[in-house]
């Protein structure tokens, strides 16, 4: 059974605030998966995204439900890949 309107993407998060998802009023059921080898820290405000923000450990995911705002990520050094999946209406 196919899931209609399914969108996926990947982002390389660096050591400065990196946009993971942008504001999208049509986005539903968002999941962010940390596909890299280090913790990614996220926040919904770019200027407040630091290594003290909410952590997503390596191999973990965060379900955002129907959150439609922006999310930024940062790592302590280097880069880390995150994968995003959501439905769009």
Q: Note the pLDDT tens digit of each residue in 10-66.
A: 999 999 999 999 999 999 999 999 999 999 999 999 999 999 999 999 999 999 989
Total number of domains constituting the chain: 1
Give pLDDT, residue 56: 98
The Cα 30–Cα 40 span in angstroms is: 17
Residue 2 counted as domain residue? no
- Domain assignment of residue 28, given as a range: 18-88
Residues 67-83, mean pLDDT to the nearest whole number: 97
User: In which band, very low, low, confident or very high, does the pLDDT at 2 lie, cut at 50, 70 and 90?
Assistant: low
Residue 74 counted as domain residue? yes
Residue pair 39/19 in contact (Cβ under 8 Å)? The answer is: no
Q: What is the pTM of this model?
A: 0.92
Residue 11 counted as domain residue? no
Residue 83 counted as domain residue? yes
Buried b (16+ CB within 10 A) or exposed e, 65-79: eebbeebbbbbeeee
């Amino acid at each position: 059974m196919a899931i209609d309107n399914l969108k996926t993407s990947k982002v390389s998060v660096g050591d400065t605030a990196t946009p993971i998802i942008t504001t999208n009023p049509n986005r539903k059921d968002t999941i962010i998966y940390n596909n890299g080898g280090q913790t990614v820290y996220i926040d919904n405000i770019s200027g407040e995204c630091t290594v003290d923000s909410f952590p997503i450990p390596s191999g973990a995911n965060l379900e955002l439900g129907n959150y439609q705002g922006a999310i930024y990520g940062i790592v302590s050094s280097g880069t880390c890949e995150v994968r995003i999946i959501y439905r769009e209406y």
